[in-house]
Each structure stands twice: as structure tokens, then as C-alpha cells.
């Protein structure tokens, strides 16, 4: 039997210590950072479910150091190592891959960053997976058995590798040591039709699509068996796009004893019956990307100025959602082209007036593969072309337009 190690490189290290200290004084940021760092990689657990049956799978996390993962992989004798990493830790992922390849291990790499920077990643891997990985990992491992692996498996360009949610399998939660986690994740939809300029999800993985309710039920049943009182986080980019399907989803969740969390856009406030169902189903919180308290930066941030057109109803919508007993975690980004030094006081006043339960405030970050990155690169506004270890949301990587970097960074401590 062949053996594959699925390695998640997790965690970020903020480079700007002044901003790191600011971030660490925000309760919402502290809690959300703790949650994210304690989440297993749903992507790799999902891929594990699609590995051929004649392969033995192991899930490995490398957080602070890659050395323990490296030693374990060599000791346990894996044939293939599949590595996924956030942009901020991609250099660690490359270093691990290089060391493993020098010791004769076959390395595959995938994920958002690898999809956005394939030529860069290809220098460190035997094969790269771009886009969705379910069919690609299966094809890659079968090719490995036959000695015919390809350099690239790209679902964005190869129709046969695009994944249909009707073929979903339950993620391999059985590979986890559950004592390490405070919640588990499921994915009910993939992508987002808003296509915000700073978001890479729909451009580097998949267009928007929903998972059939029966498959979500199977995943919830699997979690119920191993963790009856689990807290569930929906790993969706924007859960409630399709309101009819959303009501079916929420009805399903109401049948389980779980408390749960998800991300949404502000339109969830428009539907009273959906809000009632959310409250009754155990929804503890929704995270909503408001992006800015000013309307100007919202213009052209997404398709059809969707957020800009809803800006005037932000406070009304927050209050309405929270009136149903569902807390709102509001996300704001500083450093937009429409921001000037007044944005800090305006953001503070908005937070106070709206009564948001929790708040996340970060810096605008041009992740590779996004429209934002390409625009700032064309405008020669990036400090440097590659800055992946600074893709932390708390490191400034470009020249702001409405204020200087010297004005922006100290003012984060408002």
C-alpha cells in the first residue's frame, strides 16, 4: 500500500511589530486569530477523502516549525507528500518541499497561493495542483502508481478535473486528533459571485456553487458521531447567496445540537424568515465584510457596486440581525484608495453607533491572484513585487493613495 502525507502549513507571523501590538489589543482579532489557528485544514481533509482506496493517508500540521513534520515524514516513509499553505507561510512550505525532494520524496503542492503563482511553486514541487483538488489528487496518485505524473493538474483549464459537488465525500475527520481543536469545519458552498477585488477565492479555486443538502447532512452526521457537541464553522466565502437553498440549509442545521458560525454579506438582513430560522438553528454569529465605513472606497470594489449601494443601510442591517439574537462580527479594511486620515475616527464612531458585537480591523492586502494585486502592480504602488510573508493583513505592502504610510500605520491604534 502506498502512503501519502497531507501537510498543512498554518499560522502567520506579523512582521510589523507596531501593528502586531495594535492587532493583539483588539478582542475580536484575538478571538478570531485563535479560532483560525486552531482550525484543521478542511481542504486537505477533503482531498484525503478522494485519495484512492489503496493509499494510506496521514494528516500533519506544521505551525511554528516545519522541522517536526520533516522528521516525521522521513521516519514514516511516505511516498507522496501533499503540501498546502497560506501565502504568509509559503516560504516555509517551499523550504519543507525542497528538503523532502532532496531526500527522494515526491512533493505535490496546491491551494490558493500555488494556484495564483504556479511558475513560482513549480520550482519547489514535482507537481502542482491549480484550482480544485478533489479530482486532481486522485488523478495525480493514479498517475504516480503508473509512473506518468504530470507537472500540472489544473481544474481551471481542464474540464475533466473540475469538481461537481454531487460527487462530494465526507472529509476525513477521522484523521484528526480532536483534542487539539475547538471546532470543526464543513463547506456548504464554494466561491462568491460578488468577486471583490481583494478576494482570490472565486478567481483561483472555483466559480460559485452550492453543495447538495444531502451531502451536507452526511458530513454533519459524521461529525455528530465523533463530537456530539461540536461547534461548527462553515468554511464558505458567502453562505446565504441563494436564499431558498439557504433556508433548506438552515433547516438541516436546526436538526442537530450544534452551535455554528458562518460568513455572509449584508443581504441576510433583508429576509426576516431566514433570520428567524438562523436564530432557531443554533447560529451563534455571522461574520460580515463591510470593508469600509465610507461609501467612496466601496465603489468598484465588487461587481455592480453591490456593497456601495447598500452602504447607507449598514447600521440598520446590523441592528436588525442582532435583534434576532445573532451576533455580528464586522470586518473593516483600512488603506483603500478612498480613505484619508479621517477614516479612523469615522470607523470608531460607526462601531460605537452600530453596536457591533465584535470587530475585525485589518489593512488592505493585495494577495497574489487578486484584481487588487494586479492593479497596484500596474500602478507601481507595491513596495516590492513579491512580499508573501507580509500577507498577514497587518503588514503594509503598498503605497496608500489618500494618506502616507506614516499616517496609516500609527493611526491603526485608534
260 inside domain = yes
The total domain count for the chain is 2
User: Is residue 9 one of the residues assigned to a domain?
Assistant: yes
State the CATH number of the domain containing residue 316. 3.20.20.70
In a domain? residue 169: no
Enumerate the β-bridge partners of residue 233: 185, 261
Same domain for 189 and 316? yes
- The answer to whether position 294 is within a domain reads yes
CATH (domain of 93): 3.40.50.280
Strand order in the sheet with 358-363: 184-186, 231-234, 259-264, 283-291, 327-334, 358-363
Pair (138, 192) in one structural domain: no
Looking at the domain assignment, is residue 168 inside a domain?
no
Cα–Cα distance measured from residue 150 to residue 153, given in angstroms and rounded to the nearest whole number: 7
User: What is the per-residue pLDDT across 376-404, written as a single tens digit (0 to 9) for each?
Assistant: 999 999 999 999 999 988 899 999 998 99
Mean pLDDT of the residues in the chain: 92
d(CA 256, CA 184): 14
What does the alpha-carbon distance between residue 300 and residue 380 come to, in Å, rounded to a whole number?
Answer: 20
Pair 210, 274 in one domain: yes
Same domain flag for 360 and 399: yes
**Measured distance CA(359)–CA(332) in Å, rounded:** 8
HSE toward the beta carbon, residue 56, CA cutoff 13 A: 7
CA 25, 387, 91 angle in degrees (round to 5)? 95
pLDDT tens digits, one per residue of 350-369:
999 999 999 999 999 999 99
Residues 115 and 260 in one domain: no
Q: Tell me, yes or no, whether 20 lies in a domain.
A: no
Cell of 330: 464586522
Are 267 and 155 in a shared domain? no
Task: Give the pTM.
Answer: 0.93
Q: 379 in a domain, yes or no?
A: yes
Measured between alpha carbons, how far is 33 from 134 in angstroms, rounded to an integer? 28
Range of the domain at 115: 2-14+41-161
The residue from 161, 196, 219 where one domain ends is: 161
Residues 355 and 312 in one domain: yes
Q: Are both 255 and 345 inside the same structural domain?
A: yes
- Pairing type for strands 189-190 and 259-264 reads unpaired
C-alpha cell at 81: 507528500
Q: Quick one: pLDDT band at residue 200, thresholds 50, 70, 90?
A: confident
Looking at the structure, tell me whether residues 347 and 215 fall in a common domain: yes
pLDDT by residue (tens digit) across 157-189? 999 999 999 999 999 999 999 999 999 999 999
Q: Which of 113, 128, 161 is the last residue of a domain?
A: 161
Residue 33 maps to a domain: no
Cell numbers for 74, please give them. 522521513
Looking at the fold, whether 137 and 223 belong to one and the same domain comes out as no
Pair (267, 329) in one structural domain: yes
Three cell numbers at 170?
465526507
Residues in the chain, total:
414
371 with 235, same domain: the answer is yes
In whole angstroms, give the CA distance from residue 204 to residue 25: 33
pLDDT digits (tens, 9 = 90+) for 1-57: 899 999 999 877 666 666 656 554 444 554 555 555 578 999 999 999 999 999 999
Q: What is the mean pLDDT of residues 327-354?
A: 95
What are the strands, taking DSSP E only, across 66-155? Answer: 80-85, 106-110, 127-130, 152-154
The H or E element that residue 277 is part of is: helix 272-281
Residue that terminates a domain, selected from 161, 195, 217: 161
Amino acid at each position: 500500500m502506498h502512503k501519502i502525507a497531507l501537510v498543512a502549513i498554518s499560522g502567520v507571523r506579523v512582521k510589523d511589530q507596531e501593528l502586531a501590538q495594535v492587532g493583539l489589543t483588539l478582542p475580536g482579532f484575538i478571538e478570531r486569530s485563535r479560532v483560525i489557528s486552531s482550525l484543521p485544514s478542511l481542504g486537505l481533509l477533503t482531498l484525503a477523502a478522494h485519495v484512492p482506496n489503496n493509499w494510506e493517508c496521514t494528516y500533519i500540521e506544521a505551525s511554528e516549525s516545519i522541522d517536526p513534520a520533516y522528521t516525521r515524514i522521513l521516519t514514516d516513509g511516505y511516498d507522496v507528500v501533499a503540501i498546502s499553505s497560506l501565502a504568509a507561510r509559503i516560504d516555509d512550505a517551499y523550504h519543507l518541499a525542497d528538503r523532502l525532494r532532496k531526500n527522494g520524496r515526491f512533493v505535490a503542492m496546491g491551494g490558493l497561493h500555488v494556484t495564483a503563482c504556479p511558475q513560482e511553486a513549480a520550482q519547489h514541487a514535482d507537481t502542482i495542483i491549480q484550482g480544485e483538488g478533489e479530482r486532481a489528487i486522485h488523478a495525480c496518485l493514479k498517475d504516480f502508481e503508473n509512473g506518468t505524473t504530470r507537472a500540472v493538474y489544473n481544474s481551471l483549464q481542464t474540464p475533466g478535473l473540475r469538481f461537481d459537488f454531487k460527487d462530494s465525500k465526507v472529509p476525513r475527520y477521522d484523521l484528526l486528533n480532536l483534542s487539539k481543536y475547538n471546532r470543526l469545519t464543513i463547506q456548504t458552498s464554494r466561491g462568491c459571485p460578488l468577486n471583490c477585488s481583494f478576494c482570490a477565492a472565486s478567481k483561483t479555486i472555483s466559480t460559485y456553487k452550492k453543495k447538495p443538502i444531502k451531502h451536507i447532512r452526511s458530513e454533519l452526521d459524521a461529525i455528530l458521531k465523533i463530537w456530539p457537541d461540536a461547534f461548527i464553522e462553515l468554511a464558505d466565502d458567502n453562505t446565504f447567496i441563494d436564499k431558498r437553498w439557504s433556508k433548506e440549509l438552515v433547516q438541516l442545521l436546526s436538526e442537530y445540537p450544534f452551535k455554528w458560525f458562518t460568513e455572509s454579506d449584508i443581504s441576510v438582513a433583508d429576509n426576516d424568515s431566514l433570520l428567524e430560522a438562523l436564530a432557531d438553528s443554533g447560529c451563534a454569529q455571522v461574520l460580515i465584510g463591510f470593508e469600509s465605513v465610507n461609501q467612496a472606497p466601496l465603489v468598484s470594489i465588487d461587481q455592480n457596486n453591490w456593497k456601495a449601494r447598500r452602504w447607507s443601510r449598514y447600521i440598520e442591517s446590523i441592528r436588525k440581525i442582532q435583534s434576532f439574537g445573532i451576533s455580528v462580527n464586522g470586518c473593516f479594511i483600512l488603506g483603500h484608495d478612498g480613505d484619508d486620515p479621517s477614516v479612523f475616527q469615522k470607523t470608531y464612531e460607526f462601531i460605537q453607533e452600530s453596536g457591533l458585537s465584535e470587530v475585525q480591523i485589518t489593512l488592505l492586502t493585495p494577495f497574489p491572484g487578486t484584481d487588487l494585486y494586479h492593479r497596484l502592480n500596474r500602478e507601481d504602488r507595491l513596495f516590492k513585487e513579491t512580499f508573501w510573508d507580509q500577507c498577514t493583513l497587518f503588514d503594509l505592502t503598498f503605497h496608500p493613495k489618500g494618506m502616507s504610510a506614516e499616517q496609516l500605520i500609527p493611526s491603526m491604534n485608534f
